[in-house]
Amino acid sequence: MSNDVKLLDYLRDRHSTAVAQIKEPGPSQDELEGILTAAARVPDHGKLAPWRFIVYRGDVCVSLGEDFLRIALEDNPALADAAQEAERTRFTRGPLVVGVISTAAPHAKIPEWEQVLSAGAVCLNMLMAANAHGYVANWRSEWIAYDERAQAVLGVRPDEKVAGFIHIGSSDFPMPDRPRPQLSDIVTYAGGSEV
Ligand SMILES: Cc1cc2nc3c(=O)[nH]c(=O)nc-3n(C[C@H](O)[C@H](O)[C@H](O)COP(=O)(O)O)c2cc1C
């Protein structure tokens, strides 16, 4: 089978793995750099690189969990035990989380919208680069992506936005696929004909 056919098979089948199923081992430093290098190779109008990465792993994920819990308790002091544990373990469910941070800003020539789209391309590319290195991944946002207090502890600056938190690790869990859109529901042919 040619490499092209394998790539097509991958694209037809690719899917994320639930974060709860993402376990050790995570990528080595070399593998991580390979994943990040491939992820950054995306269409980017004007070559602005309007995104950056923050890698969260190890002890920092434990202390971030305490921060997430503290913030969640500020908003809801009566948070149930299970919900508190969910906050505490938000970044320790798998081995590694990469924050894809959009640095999109007004520009004389390149619309900000296109810079934002490029960050989305980075996120999908990172999922695929993780798969190519033999790992599973999931693109999450969750409330921490939008809460200014959480952004501050995560190292996201006030003029930036979180495009996604990409959880990366290993799994042998057989993920069921999710429903995918039918082409007939999403495609129209300008001019009204397929040919
Ligand atoms: C920008 C963005 C943010 C997401 N945030 C969440 C989230 O916070 N929680 C969640 O359960 N799924 C979230 N998802 C959906 C997961 O990534 C989901 O597992 C994924 O879309 C499955 O698609 P796939 O199997 O084609 O990769 C998000 C998706 C996107 C594109």
CB 54 within 8 A of CB 98: yes
Pocket test for ligand 1, best of 91, 98, 127, 139 (most atoms within 8 A of CB): 139
Does the residue 163 lie in any domain? Answer: yes
Does the residue 98 lie in any domain? Answer: yes
Q: What separation in Å is there between the alpha carbon of 140 and the centre of ligand 1?
A: 5
First vs last C-alpha separation in the chain = 31
The secondary structure element, H or E, covering residue 149 is helix 148-154
Does the residue 83 lie in any domain? Answer: no
CATH assignment of the domain containing 33:
3.40.109.10
**Count of the separate structural domains present in the chain:** 1
Q: Whose CA is nearest to atom 14 of ligand 1?
A: 140
Q: Is 97 helix (H, G, I), strand (E, B) or coil?
A: strand
Does the residue 101 lie in any domain? Answer: yes
Predicted TM-score of the model (pTM): 0.96
* Average of per-residue pLDDT values in the chain: 96
Q: What is the 3-state secondary structure (H, E, C) of 72-104?
A: HHHHCCCCCHHHHHHHHCCCCCCCEEEEEEECC
Structure tokens at 180: 């995918």
Return the residue matching tokens 């040919």. Answer: 195
Does the residue 48 lie in any domain? Answer: yes
Instruction: Specify the pairing of strand 161-169 against strand 51-56.
Output: unpaired
Quick one: pLDDT at residue 192?
85
Does the residue 184 lie in any domain? Answer: no
Summarised one tens digit per residue, pLDDT across range 8-65 is 999 999 999 999 999 999 999 999 999 999 999 999 999 999 999 999 999 999 999 9
